[in-house]
């Protein structure tokens, strides 16, 4: 995913996948940043305890907040004992540091957070979809407001202004 204001800066997420025989090595999983158009990559997990990441977004408006949900395992789900233990992380400094956007009900979230997109109505806010068919608006100050529920698992969000 390209940085909206700096052409050579790219972001990507990854996880351990389904290779259960390999030990979890934190420097492999999570968000990465390239500052040279993808030639080299730097791991960006300071302050983020992630072992598997998939969706991510970056707000096109300054300060260009990077938001990424992370779960302990590729199979983490609401069906697990204790739920998915998914945490939504945010970085305002291109991934140099990260902080949780968890509130009392989402720190961590029992439902896996399966989609994330910049909120077109709130700078630095995001819209988050879940495996349980909910869509949430999450502010930069970690306030969660449910926008809808009863949908099938939300795999992608595309917010229109």
Total of domains in the chain: 1
Q: Does residue 156 belong to any structural domain of this protein?
A: no
Q: Does residue 153 belong to any structural domain of this protein?
A: no
Q: Tens digit of pLDDT per residue, the chain (161 long)?
A: 999 999 999 999 887 655 555 555 555 677 889 999 999 998 886 667 667 788 899 999 999 999 999 888 788 899 999 999 999 999 999 888 889 999 988 889 999 999 999 999 988 899 999 999 999 999 999 999 999 999 999 999 987 76
Q: Which structural domain, as residue segments, surrounds residue 56?
A: 10-148
CATH for 108: 2.130.10.10
Q: Does residue 44 belong to any structural domain of this protein?
A: yes
Give the DSSP letter string of 67-83: EEEEESSTT--TTSTT-
Q: Does residue 31 belong to any structural domain of this protein?
A: yes
Q: Does residue 4 belong to any structural domain of this protein?
A: no
Give the DSSP letter string of 99-133: EE---TTSTTBSS-EEEEEE-TTSTT-EEEEETTS
pLDDT confidence of residue 146: 97
Q: Does residue 154 belong to any structural domain of this protein?
A: no
Q: Does residue 50 belong to any structural domain of this protein?
A: yes
Closest listed residue to residue 95, CA positions, set 68, 122, 135, 134: 68
pLDDT confidence of residue 132: 97
Which two structure tokens, joined as six digits, stand for 40? 């080299």
pLDDT confidence of residue 71: 86
List, in order, residues 6 or more apart from 138 with CB less than 8 Å away. Answer: 88, 101, 119, 125, 126, 127, 128, 144, 145
């Amino acid at each position: 995913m390209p940085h909206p204001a700096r052409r050579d800066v790219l972001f990507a997420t990854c996880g351990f996948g389904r290779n259960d025989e390999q030990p979890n090595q934190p420097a492999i999983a999570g968000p990465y940043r390239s500052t040279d158009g993808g030639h080299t990559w730097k791991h960006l997990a300071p302050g983020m305890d992630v072992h598997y990441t998939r969706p991510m977004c970056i707000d096109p408006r300054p300060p260009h907040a990077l938001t990424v949900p992370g779960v302990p395992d590729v199979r983490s789900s609401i069906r697990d004992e204790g739920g998915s233990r998914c945490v939504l992380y945010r970085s305002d400094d291109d991934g140099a540091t990260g902080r949780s956007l968890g509130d009392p009900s989402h720190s961590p979230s029992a439902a896996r957070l399966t989609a994330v997109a910049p909120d077109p109505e709130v700078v630095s806010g995001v819209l988050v979809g879940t495996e349980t068919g909910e869509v949430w608006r999450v502010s930069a100050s970690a306030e969660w407001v449910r926008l809808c529920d009863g949908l099938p698992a939300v795999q992608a969000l595309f917010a229109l202004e």
